[in-house]
Amino acid sequence: DTEVTQTPKHLVMGMTNKKSLKCEQHMGHRAMYWYKQKAKKPPELMFVYSYEKLSINESVPSRFSPECPNSSLLNLHLHALQPEDSALYLCASSPRQGTDNEQFFGPGTRLTVL
């Protein structure tokens, strides 16, 4: 299995909702990443987990809460989001943290905040 899966593919939520994005990989990778991508823009790093511990938080607002319950799963919990948070949320994984490790990306979750 050489892919990263993400669910759901699409999500529409109100500003008072609580929702979660899920990411899964079974490649034995020990680094997992969340990126945010606005339309016609490059992916922007949000969080990095290395060996199930948060390694990098790119000053992301607390309404985004990541969680890595085990080495195969990565969640992003969403609460009280703003319309400007609407974007494609990409998950990626790599064998280890470090930019000389190829990052494998999932297809993303298209999030719309109303």
Partner 1 sequence: GESVGLHLPTLSVQEGDNSIINCAYSNSASDYFIWYKQESGKGPQFIIDIRSNMDKRQGQRVTVLLNKTVKHLSLQIAATQPGDSAVYFCAEGGTGTASKLTFGTGTRLQVTL
* 23 part of the interface to partner 1, by CB under 8 A: no
* 98 part of the interface to partner 1, by CB under 8 A: yes
Q: CB nearer to partner 1: give 20 or 57.
A: 57
* 66 part of the interface to partner 1, by CB under 8 A: no
d(CA 79, CA 70): 22
- Cα 37–Cα 40–Cα 44 angle in degrees, nearest 5: 25
How far from each other are the two terminal CA atoms of the chain, in whole angstroms? 36
Q: Are strands 44-50 and 18-25 parallel, antiparallel or unpaired?
A: unpaired
* 41 part of the interface to partner 1, by CB under 8 A: yes
* 56 part of the interface to partner 1, by CB under 8 A: yes
* 45 part of the interface to partner 1, by CB under 8 A: yes
Cis preceding linkage at 8, omega within 30: yes
Interaction site with partner 1 (CB under 8 A): 4, 40-45, 48, 50, 55-56, 90, 92, 96-100, 102-108
